[in-house]
Chain A
Amino acid sequence: MDSHLRQLEDQSVYILREAYKHFDHLAMLWSMGKDSTALLWLTRKAFFGHVPFPLVHIDTSYKIPAMIEYRDRIAREWRLNLVIGQNKEALANGMNHTLGRVECCTALKTNGLKNLIAEKGYTGIILGVRADEEGTRAKERYFSPRDKHGDWDFREQPPELWDQFKTTFPEGTHIRIHPLLDWTEINIWEYIRAENIPIIDLYFDKGDGTRYRSLGCAPCTFPIKSTAKTVDAILEELRSTTVAERSGRAQDEGRGMELLRKDGYM
């Protein structure tokens, strides 16, 4: 592995171990996408093959079916403690993207997560967000506090220096932990290649000249035109593109993401 990836891995592993040391009620979000799967792999690195906390999947019910199959297979093979959260109430009331993308994301993902956090009493949630995804994530901390309502106060972020993280917090609040902040999309793919991580095949073209670059709910995530069938081909494509990664994600338009994230979106 090249020295850059190695350094990224060392930092992420350090963060994961700090999280495990300081939080008794810790969980990791896993969306089955490339980032959170790379993060899961880093967890196995950090704990020498073990995954010592539950993995949470917030199931909006609109996920692409192949993602659920992949989830269950990996969970079995890696002996994961899988916890599935779903905002059943919102779904029963008919929530879907046609009622508004931001509204739908808030109800099914943000509130689905908030409900699960409240129910399980998690005080630390590990997420695979990266700084290069979009502007507000670029300003995140590795350990980022959320208030009683799960909201993010970006104006009052704690200082973070010398790998001394915010690990103490008032009751009722929780901390979001972001071990992948320093990774770029290309780094993730380089790491997947270097470590041979079994990634979901929706990222590859299977003959129709399209593939997914970013995975979300079926109605709001669109495949891109690409004939990349291997990780190498994806890397080659990424090195020559200037199109933003999340351009296939509808909720990123306008100020959607800033509003969503202040409210506690991942």
Chain B
Amino acid sequence: MPTLVPSAPRASEHLNIVIVGHVDHGKSTLLGRLYADTGSLPEGKLDKVRDICRRQGKEFEYAFLFDAFLEEQEQGITIDTARTFFTWEGRHYIIIDAPGHKEFLKNMVSGAARAEAALLVIDAHEGVREQSKKHGYLLSLLGIRQVAVIVNKMDLVGYRQDVFDAIEKEYRAFLAQLKVTPERFVPVSAKLGDNIAKPSAQISWYSGPTVLETLGLFRKETARERQTLRFPVQDVYKFDARRIITGRLAAGRIKVGDRLIFSPSNKTATVKTIEAFNVEPVPTEATAGQSTGITLDEQIFIQRGEIASHEDSVPLVSTTFRSNLFWMGHRPLEAGKKYVLRLATREVECEIVALHRIIDTTNLAAREVKTSVGRNEVAELTIRAKAPITFDLYSDFAVTGRFVLVDQYDVSGGGIITEAVKDEQTVLREEARRRDIAWVKGDVGAEDRARHFGHRAALVLITGARHAGKSMLARRLEVQLVADGRHTYLLDAANLRRGLDADLSEEDTGEIVRRFGEVARLLMDTGLIVVSTTNALGGADHQAIRTLVHPTPVITVHMSKGEEAPPPDTDLAFAGPKDFEAIADQVMEELKRRGVLAQAIGAKPQFHYSI
């Protein structure tokens, strides 16, 4: 969790506050009263509400000021969050009124996810209820550490201190389990205006701040700027001569001249300029929270979803992590099903590989194990992405330590990462990362070679059983690519065995694969298209090779005699009798589609991604 450091409010400072708590405990009334008692309502607004209440035969309801929908007013509940604007003593607040009804928990989360501090309302008469606890839990999951508890409807309990004290004791104990220490407890009557904007004569035993003063005591979080850099790439623009990499800094700062490493591709480059429109003088740095754009000293190919950092503090890279997740989907979350994971700007398919337990937010110690997570439930689970992703632990970096899951069209769950889990590729991935960071580059970059050759580097892996025609295809493909003017080399894994691998025995498969991967990587660094049959290697080895040559594209072509199912991640599969020339043509088409080959030789390469 980013630490909170008190700071003197700057004149233009603004703060996002959310009001949460069980339904009917008085959240909307509190908000309405706050506006009314500080003279913050537009002219005629109170009269309008008075009118509505009279027509509905109701007593005056402050809640109607922001429960704007007819349905909300008729039912007397808040359905969706309202953003309201409030200025006091030079500080600007966006106050978000969240619904307390269980059915609208997703709306409460949407509102609270934007907040920097929260007012949690508890009805003195009803005491701590189910949603009081659930909201408290969700605030901690959402990373909101500044919480003030407002004990409302004190008028209904005769303003008794013992009632207030008992609620404070009970709720403090609950929050302590979440490691949340509330800022304070404030006894109020929202309806009658006690301790909202001015101290209450009725509650003489309380001398602490009113709700209005409580807002003023919340601090602005500024710690993110002082963390080390995390810059998720949002997009790459080439509207004019500049190739601008854009994104919003999740943490730290970026300066002209900084050497950056992009993860998970491990590409490195130096910041040449910070770009901005209509900013004088031209900026030379950007800090956490800013949407910015940079250019690099070198044309490297990077994509949305990568995270740039400095070399001395790199984020984690893995396919697998453990997390706490809140589910809001209409359908339950199920282990084994596929979802789309979104983390900062990265988007990748994923699967729940283990569901450890459902967390009962009213009894945190309970351990309930199920195979699915229902709507509005919180669970501890392990997620595995289809490809390696870059992230941090939530406790270290908020923005790059949290994610959402998309089920079909809808964002349906939100989670925080509690632990990175090692997968089979972790060791090789770390080796590749150390290698790439330390790599000494010449003055000719991959993009220069691509422009010169008319194609990018790639690895074509041909898989399949014996006698399925792999090597026939590999030879044919090499001939055809070279005839087409492409720089191509056939690398048979068996060729390494007598030379480079002469010191290894048959059993050293791990090392054989590693050396093959490194040789392929080296050849591709020269800009070649490497075609390879991998008789000597098994399916698991292909993953290792992918890890070592990452992020160079790997195209797998599977050959079979019968109708057997190709291994996962196969790009093209061919069964039965073969016309090798036609297959080679199809592989070349696939290379074009993937942006490896320019569409026509001699033409300036038109890669489908920009360079």
Do A and B truly interact? Answer: yes
Instruction: List the interface of chain A (C-beta within 8 A of B).
Output: 2-7, 9-11, 13-14, 17-18, 20-21, 44-50, 52, 131-132, 134-136, 138-139, 141, 154-155, 157-162, 164-166, 168-170, 181-182, 184, 195, 242-244, 247, 255, 258
The count of chain B contact residues (Cβ–Cβ below 8 Å) is: 62
Instruction: List the interface of chain B (C-beta within 8 A of A).
Output: 10-14, 39, 41-45, 66, 68-71, 79-85, 92, 94, 106-107, 109-110, 113-114, 142, 234-235, 237, 239-240, 242, 244, 246, 248, 275-278, 289-291, 293, 304, 328, 342, 399, 402, 404, 406, 408-412, 414
**Contact for A154 among B13, B80, B277, B406, CB less than 8 A:** B80
Q: Which residue of B lies closest to A13 (CB)?
A: B291
Min Cβ gap A134→B in Å is: 8
Tell me, in angstroms, the Cα distance from A255 to B242 when the chains sit together: 50
Asked if residues A139 and B68 are in contact (CB atoms below 8 Å), the reply is yes
Asked if residues A49 and B248 are in contact (CB atoms below 8 Å), the reply is no
Q: Which residue of A lies closest to B44 (CB)?
A: A244
Q: In the complex where A48-B293, A136-B68, A155-B79 touch, is A184 in contact with B85 (Cβ < 8 A)?
A: yes
Asked if residues A3 and B10 are in contact (CB atoms below 8 Å), the reply is yes
Q: Which of A155, A165, A166, A258 counts the most chain B CB atoms within 10 A?
A: A155
Q: In the complex where A14-B234, A242-B41 touch, is A162 in contact with B277 (Cβ < 8 A)?
A: no
Asked if residues B411 and A48 are in contact (CB atoms below 8 Å), the reply is no
CB neighbours of B408 from chain A (8 A): 168
Q: In the complex where A7-B14, A158-B411, A243-B43 touch, is A48 in contact with B244 (Cβ < 8 A)?
A: yes
Tell me, in angstroms, the Cα distance from A80 to B85 when the chains sit together: 33
Q: In the complex where A4-B92, A48-B275, A48-B277 touch, is A162 in contact with B291 (Cβ < 8 A)?
A: no
**A139-B80, A244-B45 given; 11 more Cβ-contact pairs under 8 Å:** A2-B12, A4-B13, A6-B290, A7-B289, A21-B304, A47-B237, A47-B239, A49-B277, A131-B82, A159-B328, A161-B411
CB neighbours of A161 from chain B (8 A): 109-110, 113-114, 142, 404, 411, 414
CB neighbours of B275 from chain A (8 A): 48
CB neighbours of B14 from chain A (8 A): 4, 7
Q: Which residue of A lies closest to B406 (CB)?
A: A168
Tell me, in angstroms, the Cα distance from A255 to B106 when the chains sit together: 26
Q: Which residue of B lies closest to A135 (CB)?
A: B68
**Contact for B83 among A47, A131, A258, CB less than 8 A:** A131
CB neighbours of B45 from chain A (8 A): 244
Q: Which residue of A lies closest to B399 (CB)?
A: A162
Nearest 3 A/B pairs, CB to CB: A135-B68, A161-B113, A2-B12
CB neighbours of B79 from chain A (8 A): 154-155
CB neighbours of A258 from chain B (8 A): 68-70
Q: Which residue of A lies closest to B82 (CB)?
A: A138
CB neighbours of B66 from chain A (8 A): 135, 138
Asked if residues B235 and A20 are in contact (CB atoms below 8 Å), the reply is yes
Min Cβ gap B58→A in Å is: 17
Q: Which residue of B lies closest to A160 (CB)?
A: B110
Q: Which residue of A lies closest to B65 (CB)?
A: A135
Asked if residues B291 and A10 are in contact (CB atoms below 8 Å), the reply is yes
Min Cβ gap A166→B in Å is: 6
Min Cβ gap A200→B in Å is: 19
Asked if residues A17 and B291 are in contact (CB atoms below 8 Å), the reply is yes
Q: Which residue of A lies closest to B68 (CB)?
A: A135
CB neighbours of A138 from chain B (8 A): 66, 68, 82-84
Tell me, in angstroms, the Cα distance from A181 to B84 when the chains sit together: 10
Q: In the complex where A138-B83, A242-B43 touch, is A157 in contact with B277 (Cβ < 8 A)?
A: no
